[in-house]
Amino acid sequence: MGGHLSTLEENTMLFEEMRLTCTDFTEDVVEKLKAKMPLALQKAKGLDFIPYTVRDGAWQPGPCDGICWWTNGFWPGEMWEMYRLTGEESYRQEAERAENMLDAAFVEYDSLHHDVGFMWLISSGADFRMTGNDQSRKRTVLAANLLAGRFNPLGFIRAWNGDCVGWAIIDCMMNLNLLYWASDHTGDPRFRKIAMAHADTAMRHFVREDGSCNHIVIFDPETLDVKEIPAGQGYAAGSSWSRGQSWALYGFALSFLHTSKQEYLDTAKKVAQYFISQVKDDWIPRCDFRQPAGDDLKDACAGAVAACGLLELSKITEGKDAQAFFDAALSILKALDAHCTDWSNDYPAILTRCTGSYHGNDHNIAMTYADFFLIEAVLKLRGDTFLFW
């Protein structure tokens, strides 16, 4: 075999070798998931909303936008992940129940936004790709058309509604995957071209020289001139909101996977190296990498997202890079498991030290999307190659 392996085969073998070094950790977390998630599911049964966070031991909905709340795809996504992990029908049924609930969001169109990829690619999109359900296919294509409809031809997908006409945000890198899927599925390149135009703009205007990123950039929607770069969910303008860094890290890695455009991989690696340099003391991201020294506010969610991105990077890079990305992902996951989780079975969520935004009140909370990315990372460590994105 020596000398005849393609780079892809060599990378795959190296990833296999690396992931097999930590099967004790992986299987320990899998056992904890299998013990915990039936309770999470049972507490969601019969609710007329989709779980977002936890208060007094009970699931709570998102704080606004009703069924259009941007994280509402993550709960069905978690259920599909558990279905992949266990094959148990109860998870599949709950995923389908939540996917059906999401149909009301299409009718509440005014409250929909740039995050329709988060809402449908991992719910109906996962359903279609796993089961072939045609209704799920239609939902996912419809969501892709809604996202494409937000494109400003100067080169960005606008965020939010109302007077945010020229706003774009780094989080949207993850929503591009819905568009890549739509082009692959329909054979129509428009969706992919929109996604790449947005990713190119994000590379130019969001990612800084040192690998840190802006959260929000406000463009003049007539000219693409930059008007303002506000703090967004981070500490201050010019700071470095860790979850935004993780959206960029994973988002650019995925854009490379879907397009093979080398600059996306180079950008993902640059953001990843910056991210690692900021977390390597205890491997739990601060909410903002530039928040005041001594302020220990954390965001476990940023860690879970980054771990997924780092694992994907470790599959598509070589040698020392691959090893460094894999080791960082594992260190983050071990730190989250040891210091940021509630594995008890009277609390339905897993990760508890998540932060919505630096200046908000939503500090040290549970968030279903954090748990989604934690489970996704575990599936990757298990060798499951299904890509939710």
Which residues belong to the active site? 115, 171
65 lies in the site for ligand GLY, by CB under 6 A = no
258 lies in the site for ligand GLY, by CB under 6 A = no
Q: Which residue number, 78 or 171, has a Cβ lying nearer to ligand GLY? A: 171
Q: Which residue number, 243 or 380, has a Cβ lying nearer to ligand GLY? A: 243
Neighbours of 62 (CB within 10 A): 19
Q: Which residue number, 212 or 233, has a Cβ lying nearer to ligand GLY? A: 233
288 lies in the site for ligand GLY, by CB under 6 A = no
Shortest Å, Cβ 305 to ligand GLY: 8
192 lies in the site for ligand GLY, by CB under 6 A = no
Site residues (CB under 6 A) for ligand GLY, limited to 222-241: 233
129 lies in the site for ligand GLY, by CB under 6 A = no
299 lies in the site for ligand GLY, by CB under 6 A = no
Is the CA virtual torsion 205, 206, 207, 212 positive or negative? positive
CA distance 70 to 113: 8
Site residues (CB under 6 A) for ligand GLY, limited to 160-179: 171
376 lies in the site for ligand GLY, by CB under 6 A = no
Whether residue 367 contacts residue 53, with contact meaning beta carbons closer than 8 Å, is answered with yes
Q: Which residue number, 126 or 304, has a Cβ lying nearer to ligand GLY? A: 304
96 lies in the site for ligand GLY, by CB under 6 A = no
List the one residue from 84, 113, 129, 243 that touches ligand GLY (CB under 6 A).
243
Neighbours of 278 (CB within 10 A): 18
Q: Which residue number, 243 or 269, has a Cβ lying nearer to ligand GLY? A: 243
Please report, as ranges, the residues that interact with ligand GLY according to CB under 6 A: 171, 233, 243
